[in-house]
Amino acid sequence: MRTLITGGTLVGPLGATPTEILVDGETVTALFVPGSLPEDLRGSLRDGPDSSVDRVIDATGKYVIPGGVDVHTHMELPFGGTSASDTFATGTAAAAWGGTTTIIDFAVQRTGEVVEESLAAWHAKAEGQCAIDYGFHMIIGGVDDQALKAMDYLVANEGISSFKLFMAYPGVFYSDDGQILRAMQRAAESGAMVMMHAENGIAIDVLAAQALARGGTGPVHHGYTRPPELEGEATNRAAVLARVAGNCPLYFVHMSASEALAVVSAARGAGHNVFAETCPQYLYLSLEEHLGAPGFEGAKYVASPPLRTNTASHHDDLWRGLRTDDLAVVSTDHCPFCFRDQKELGRGDFTRIPNGIGTVEHRIDLVYQGVASGRLSLPRWVETCATTPARMFGLYPRKGVVAPGSDADIVIYDPAASTTISASTHHMNLDYSAWEGFQVAGKVDTVLSRGTVVVAGGEFHGRAGHGRYLRRGLSQYLR
Ligand code: URP
Ligand code: ZN
Ligand code: ZN
Ligand code: ZN
């Protein structure tokens, strides 16, 4: 199957250029400056598909970008007595609808579990289910000698080169500073990336218990008891530990606060292997307007770290971080729980509200709003949503770029179209949208995953099982 994508403007980190793109099978095989197509291909432009090309996709007036790479999802994550509502099947289909063609999900090892067995269980959930390609990070919830050894095994044999640790959630995923240091030393040796959930969970648990004792039981107290200072403190502590561990590569997930970003800026300024991502919810939503919504509505917006106050400059600072590369990636931390049957578990006690927001379908659109509003350049949109995530986690140049030899994961994006986000039209398995009524300039038009059209003309053409497991190499983003 040969496909010619014609008339569009190819956008990558280096800029935007009118380009004709030839796809053969699952792979991009050639790029042409308009007007320079070889004679055999030129015929197909005049007369439509012929012996040289099976399919011509007209991208006139549209952007052509590499498929989105969302490096932070939690399909079917067990959490707080329930499980994230998107399966690998529903979540990856929703991702494809939104122009994301690769996810990296978090496999989970808990204290006492054997890492390799936990990983096998995650493979069993995903295999044959995914509509797009997928990889795994490994959450190490119980750092001990066996788990440390398993980290090396996963890097060498399983295509897993990144490990998430938690300074939050004592008793669940939490690692103490000694465990963190040991895992970082291991990662510094192997070149693996440590991904950090940086919030001081011990202090947060004290504040949460005090709030409940005072009768502060509603969702907004989730925000009050996880102040930005405790994200900044944990971020600094992790950065220091990584340095002591031998400059272990360190990537902060879901960064939400100016205090934390300042730590990353300083560490990067000093030349350390420190990186960070943020998520759309931290760029747009707030403690007052969303988490503090009347009644139990705020439960829809409970995630950790929490949405931050709009009386400080968190949103502006995060957008600036995206421009300066102190924030290198936008991921979603997609972790959906239905309002009716799942968020409900925490009515009367905010600490029991399952943590997470579902956004995997909307990341490309939401970050594009930064372009539409002049906060972000067009190339930077692609870089933060596709190219850098692929490089950061060892998938480049197979993913994250439209270039000869790359997988033909391609999104055709229509900047002239617009949509409004709603639970009534989204494709995530989620009974509400944190983005209800959000007006989006621009729209995903057509999506190819490894050369197969999976979304076009407002229809889904993908299938569970098309997506393949991606064995990843080491990060390609180190200093
Ligand atoms: O609230 C969140 N972020 N839920 C998912 C788990 C995590 O910490 O990433
Ligand atoms: Zn986390
Ligand atoms: Zn997460
Ligand atoms: Zn449900």
pLDDT band of residue 353 (cuts 50, 70, 90) is: very high
Measure 275 CA to ligand 1 centroid, in angstroms: 18
Q: What share of the chain is helix, strand, coil (3-state, %, to 5)?
A: 35, 25, 40
The b-or-e profile of 401-417 (16+ CB within 10 A means b, else e) is bbeeebbbbbbbbebee
**Ligand 1, atom nearest to 168 Cα:** 8
- 122 pLDDT higher than 90: yes
Which contiguous run of DSSP H or E holds residue 275?
Answer: strand 274-278
Measure 168 CA to ligand 2 centroid, in angstroms: 8
Q: Are 328 and 384 in contact (CB under 8 A)?
A: yes
Average pLDDT over residues 448-459: 98
pLDDT band of residue 240 (cuts 50, 70, 90) is: very high
Name the residue at shortest CA distance from atom 9 of ligand 1: 333
pLDDT band of residue 459 (cuts 50, 70, 90) is: very high
Q: Which residue in 12, 38, 59, 7 sits closest to 453, CA to CA?
A: 59
- 265 pLDDT higher than 80: yes
What Å distances lie between residue 125 and 107, 130, 133, 147, 469, CA to CA?
A: 10, 10, 14, 22, 12
Instruction: Point out the ligand nearest to the CA of residue 82.
Output: 4
| Predicted complex ipTM | 0.94
**Ligand 1, atom nearest to 72 Cα:** 9
- 215 pLDDT higher than 90: yes
Q: Which residue in 348, 276, 424, 333 sits closest to 79, CA to CA?
A: 333
What values do phi and psi take at 439, rounded to 5? Answer: -85, 125
DSSP 156: I
CA-based torsion, 419, 422, 425, 429: positive or negative: positive
Average pLDDT over residues 457-471: 98
- What is the per-residue pLDDT for 477? 86
Q: pLDDT (tens digit, 9 = 90+) per residue, 334-350?
A: 999 999 999 999 999 99
Q: pLDDT (tens digit, 9 = 90+) per residue, 219-234?
A: 999 999 999 999 999 9
pLDDT band of residue 397 (cuts 50, 70, 90) is: very high
Average pLDDT over residues 14-24: 97
First and final C-alpha spacing in the chain: 40
- What is the per-residue pLDDT for 284? 98
Measure 342 CA to ligand 1 centroid, in angstroms: 15
- The position carrying tokens 């990296």 is 104
- 85 pLDDT higher than 90: yes
**Ligand 1, atom nearest to 356 Cα:** 1
Q: Are 296 and 220 in contact (CB under 8 A)?
A: no
Measure 344 CA to ligand 4 centroid, in angstroms: 11
Average pLDDT over residues 186-191: 97
Q: Domain extents for the chain?
A: 67-392
- What is the per-residue pLDDT for 479? 52
pLDDT band of residue 448 (cuts 50, 70, 90) is: very high
Q: What is the mean pLDDT of the chain?
A: 97
Answer CATH for 67-392 from 2.60.40.60, 3.30.1540.20, 3.90.1170.50, 3.20.20.140: 3.20.20.140
- What is the per-residue pLDDT for 51? 77
Angle of helix 258-269 relative to helix 228-244, nearest 10 degrees, comes to 20
Q: Are 440 and 81 in contact (CB under 8 A)?
A: no
- What is the per-residue pLDDT for 345? 98
- What is the per-residue pLDDT for 47? 77
Residues with CB under 6 A from ligand 1: 74, 197, 254, 303-304, 333, 335, 355-356
Name the residue at shortest CA distance from atom 4 of ligand 1: 356
Q: Label residue 352 exposed, middle or buried (CB < 10 Å: 0-12, 13-18, 19+).
A: middle
Q: Which residue in 173, 382, 356 sits closest to 279, CA to CA?
A: 356
Distance separating alpha carbons of residues 206 and 76, to the nearest angstrom: 29
Q: Which residue in 449, 456, 455 sits closest to 470, CA to CA?
A: 449
Q: What is the pTM of this model?
A: 0.98
Q: Locate 197 and state its tokens.
A: 């959930």
Q: Locate 271 and state its tokens.
A: 């030349």
For residue 288, give the amino acid letter.
Answer: E
| Percent of the chain topping pLDDT 90 | 96
Distance separating alpha carbons of residues 371 and 383, to the nearest angstrom: 12
Q: pLDDT (tens digit, 9 = 90+) per residue, 88-118?
A: 999 999 999 999 999 999 999 999 999 999 9
Average pLDDT over residues 145-170: 98
Q: Which residue in 330, 265, 273 sits closest to 477, CA to CA?
A: 273
Distance separating alpha carbons of residues 148 and 152, to the nearest angstrom: 7
Name the residue at shortest CA distance from atom 8 of ligand 1: 304
Q: pLDDT (tens digit, 9 = 90+) per residue, 289-321?
A: 999 999 999 999 999 999 999 999 999 999 999
| Percent of the chain topping pLDDT 70 | 100
Q: Are 54 and 36 in contact (CB under 8 A)?
A: no
Which residue of 167, 333, 342 sits with most ligand 1 atoms within 8 Å of its CB, as the best mutation to test the pocket?
A: 333
- What is the per-residue pLDDT for 423? 98
